[in-house]
Structure 1
Amino acid sequence: SVNCRNCASWDTVGTADYRLIDRSETRPTLNTTDGDRNYRKRKTTGGATTSSMFNNRHGAAGGSRGQPFLEALEKLKEDYNHMQAQLSTQRAELEKINNEKDQLQRHYMMYYEMSCSMNLELQKHSEIAKRLATVVQSVLQYVPPEQQQATLQSMERAKQISMPELQQLAAAQQAQQLGMMVGPMGLAGQMGMAGLGGPGGLNIAAAMAAMGGMRPPQQAEADRPGQSSSRQSSSRQRSGSPATTGEKKPKIEAEDGDDDEIDVQNDDPTGPAANGKSGRDSVHSGVSSSGTSTPALKCLAAAQQRNPLSQLDPAFQRQLMMSAGLVNQNGKAPYSYRIEGAGAVAVPFPFPADALTDPGVPKSVRPIHDLPHGEVVCAVSISKDAQKVFTGGKGCVKIWDLANPSSVARARLECLEDNYIRSCKLYSEGTRLVVGGEAANILLFDIETQQEVGRLDTNAQACYALALNQESKLLYACCADGAVVIFDLTSMQEVARLPGHTDGASCVDLSGDGMRLWTGGLDHTLRSWDIRERRELLSIDFSHQIFSLGCSPTEPWVAVGLESNVIEVVNTAPGVRDRYQLHRHDSCVLSLRFSHSGKWFCTTGKDNLLNVWRAPYGALSVRAAESSSVLSCDISQDDSVIVTGSGEKKATVYQVQYDMST
């Protein structure tokens, strides 16, 4: 029912009788005995009278209205929670999309740079072609008249490139791409590629040639057949820990050999030898790599055109990859690359026939002593007569007598107040030992009396590396602040400080003639210094921090061990900038030493390996696996002994064997 105070309203009483009540009538007084007629309604049913005055109107309505209100609140709460969940999901998707957007932008910039470089290269070659055409036209007038017409016709034919020639070029590109697409030797390629060959489908050569544009910049196409791409070292420090044997003895293995047989072939023995500038006296072949690989590629391309399914034949794949220089005769990927000049492409280097058969190259190494230092051995040094070994750990240097091997050190030199020792060097006459490490001071000890005889202050937080000149009169110290400090060991005074490195100077060595000082730093630079004038001569930038270096005593080669797994051997001769990149470590290269003969050098790394390389091109002669990171190494004066210090809290003494029959 609807009620209004100022107008007549219908009031329902029961179901039979309805009366209109006029609320405009004068209200009676409170003592009216008959009740308020204007506010009461009567209903007479069967003689009985029932009256009500909006009985239980508000009470009945109140209970029914509360329940819907609570239900509405619950519904709002559920909607709110649902919206919050959707909002969280949207935020996560937005973040994911933003990450994908950033990645796409980076890829776009990378491909944009590639496109720009390719356009510049195209313009460069177009300009070269124009200039060559101009030169040919100018020289054409000197050709006899009876030959000018034939020469002009030859020039016109050279401008017309036929479809078979394009197919041969595509086959040459395919040879470079097969290294990424096919499986191991003796196995077919990826099964997903089988449907690309044959009539009605895509040609595999065309597919892989198209994929050439999708390769990263560091794997750009080479300029000629048989040329491989340069491998880039990318990773930060990452350690690999080979499984150790129960006896924890170093595992000695001849490189890439089976059953302890030394593999002396990294590539075709009849391939090209080292460049004459390398100074190696080996038997060379006069056949160039491009001259041998191009006819083979043409024959293989012709065979592929006759039978497209031949590309799935493992023998065909092997032959094609060998022709392109992607694998050697043993079916193994090359690990030594040569870069001829700045900005050149890294090309797999085919080793000469005598790379590992030379009498002066180690054939194996055999562990003969374990020296339990008790702490991580960060520095080692061996005397000229190979009778004493010095191991530096935390707060002390221990002296070991190899003539009377024992598990107990002969002497112990306390130094650097429980700080790690990073370098220890012997005087040329073997009477004194210089010790530097993670402290500001450099200490000098007398070997006979085992007493401290001098102390030098570097004014730096740490000294990472030391070097002595041939007369043991000057000491060169690489410091944590990037400075290279020169001390006069006669007056025990600092005589010079070489600024240049913007971060810590980590390694140092002297050239074979003693006239140049080479330092490597954590600022990714290799620097050369004139010792007489004490000024910087050269700075070479690298892509990673330099942890170790060594100078060849006989040739102008400097080998650098990087924070990545790469070793670079740089030719420092005037006007020459060729170098080699070696890829057989799995982690950072922590130490590097050249043999005194200059024919080989050894490296150690965080991957637990000791590698012996042929200098300078890096034919890997021997590998020795230890059970922990190998932090340091040294070679005896006669190149017969190698000493390594490892994270296993010991040093290992290896005997170098040059004859497999011994």
Structure 2
Amino acid sequence: MASKIQVQKLATLTGHRDCVYALEKSGEEHIIFSAAGDGMVAAWDLTNPENGELIAKVTTSVYALYYLQERNLLLIGQNQEGIQVIDLANKSILKSVALPKTAIFDIQAIPELNKVYVALGNGSIAILALDTFELQTQIRKADQSVRCLAYNKHTNELAAGYSDNVVRIFDAESMEVKYELTTHTNSVFTVAYTPDGELLLTGGRDAHLRVWETTQEYKERGYTIAHMYTINHITFSPDGNYFATCSMDKSVKVWDAATFKLLKVIDKVRSAGHGTSVNKLFWSGHHNQLVSCSDDRTISVWDINF
């Protein structure tokens, strides 16, 4: 089965001077944003990937970016400082939102609810009004970091993975905890809903990829030991038929979303992959290209041909 997928490395994007932690979409399919430990936020054009364009430079490392399509704004999670809102049309800072002096691990906005959710290292989720970016409230359900967020528009639920090994499912409107998923044995670093909203995939430091049925009160369907070390991120292909995982074990893996069969391993030996931990993925609609970023300070662009 695995041999049916052809993977080719199209480009290696260099310019960041520290570990690259974040990848994010833009308003155009062929342009993506990246952010790193060097505080630099760059834009890359996949049609001409050699030269990144500096969008912003902040004073601390950046783990999280979020693009707001409706207003062409980029939210930058500036660790220890808060959120910078960048107006991309004129590359100016529209607003700086002060938050507790802690790491910012993830950002998720829901225009329908006029909310921005920010996952913080102090165990709380900060909620900002999307129209004004004013801090409305902070919801703290654990003493350890909130590492990742995902929104299910079909059920209006927000999934949050924590470093206390628990995935908490909130009603996105009221922020009441509806379910607590407790079978991970270590920090949960990534949560992702299937495009139809029927399954939640979770992964983290225990290297287990777990699958939960949202329609069955998040009953666990099963799990697989997906990597040798920490699963850092899960992302779905634009058509929803596949998903990819990346890991501290330096590899990227491509899976069939219907059968959960492993289809391809992208690593240094087989594909000239990354030399250290792969931190984040972005599966672009631009020629179905998969983008990965790493502690090795580079971003790789992969042509995935089914």
Of 398, 404, 410, 2:42 maps to: 398
- Distance in 2, matches of 1:596 and 1:512, equals 17
Change (3 A) 1:430 1:377: farther
Of 213, 237, 240, 1:571 maps to: 213
Q: When you count helix as a share of all residues, which structure comes out higher?
A: 1
Contact 1:633 1:644 in 2 (8 A): yes
Which residue in the other structure is 1:341 paired with?
none
Structure 1, unpaired ranges of 5+: 1-253, 256-260, 263-362
Of 193, 198, 204, 1:562 maps to: 204
Q: CA deviation at 1:521?
A: 0.3
Tell me the C-alpha RMSD between the 2 structures.
Answer: 2.1
Contact 2:111 2:130 in 1 (8 A): no
Q: Does 1:414 align with 2:62?
A: no
Which residue in the other structure is 2:148 paired with?
507
Which residue in the other structure is 1:641 paired with?
289
Q: Does 1:624 align with 2:266?
A: yes
Q: What are the superposed Cα offsets for residues 588-615 of structure 1, whole Å, 9 maximum, x if unpaired? A: 1111112343322111001111111122
- Distance in 1, matches of 2:7 and 2:115, equals 34
Contact 1:586 1:607 in 2 (8 A): yes
Q: What are the superposed Cα offsets for residues 197-256 of structure 1, whole Å, 9 maximum, x if unpaired? A: xxxxxxxxxxxxxxxxxxxxxxxxxxxxxxxxxxxxxxxxxxxxxxxxxxxxxxxxx84x
Residue 20 of structure 2: SS of its match in structure 1?
A: coil
Q: Does 1:588 align with 2:230?
A: yes
* Larger relative contact order, structure 1 or 2 (CA cutoff 8 Å, min sep 6): 2
- Distance in 2, matches of 1:577 and 1:639, equals 36
Which residue in the other structure is 1:601 paired with?
243
Contact 1:512 1:551 in 2 (8 A): no
Tell me the matched-pair count. Answer: 297
- Distance in 2, matches of 1:552 and 1:384, equals 22
Contact 1:440 1:458 in 2 (8 A): yes
Q: CA deviation at 1:365?
A: 3.1
Which residue in the other structure is 1:92 paired with?
none
Change (3 A) 1:654 1:562: same
Which residue in the other structure is 1:381 paired with?
24
Which residue in the other structure is 1:487 paired with?
128
Q: CA deviation at 1:646?
A: 0.7
Of 155, 162, 184, 1:521 maps to: 162
Structure 2, unpaired ranges of 5+: 268-272
Q: CA deviation at 1:428?
A: 2.3
1:640 is matched by which residue type in structure 2?
Answer: N
Residue 573 of structure 1: SS of its match in structure 2?
A: helix
Which residue in the other structure is 2:10 paired with?
368
Q: Give TM-score, length-normalised by structure 1.
A: 0.43
Q: What are the superposed Cα offsets for residues 83-142 of structure 1, whole Å, 9 maximum, x if unpaired? A: xxxxxxxxxxxxxxxxxxxxxxxxxxxxxxxxxxxxxxxxxxxxxxxxxxxxxxxxxxxx
Of 463, 469, 477, 2:110 maps to: 469
- Distance in 1, matches of 2:137 and 2:293, equals 32
Which residue in the other structure is 1:657 paired with?
305
CA radius of gyration, larger in: 1
Contact 2:280 2:292 in 1 (8 A): yes
Q: When you count strand as a share of all residues, which structure comes out higher?
A: 2
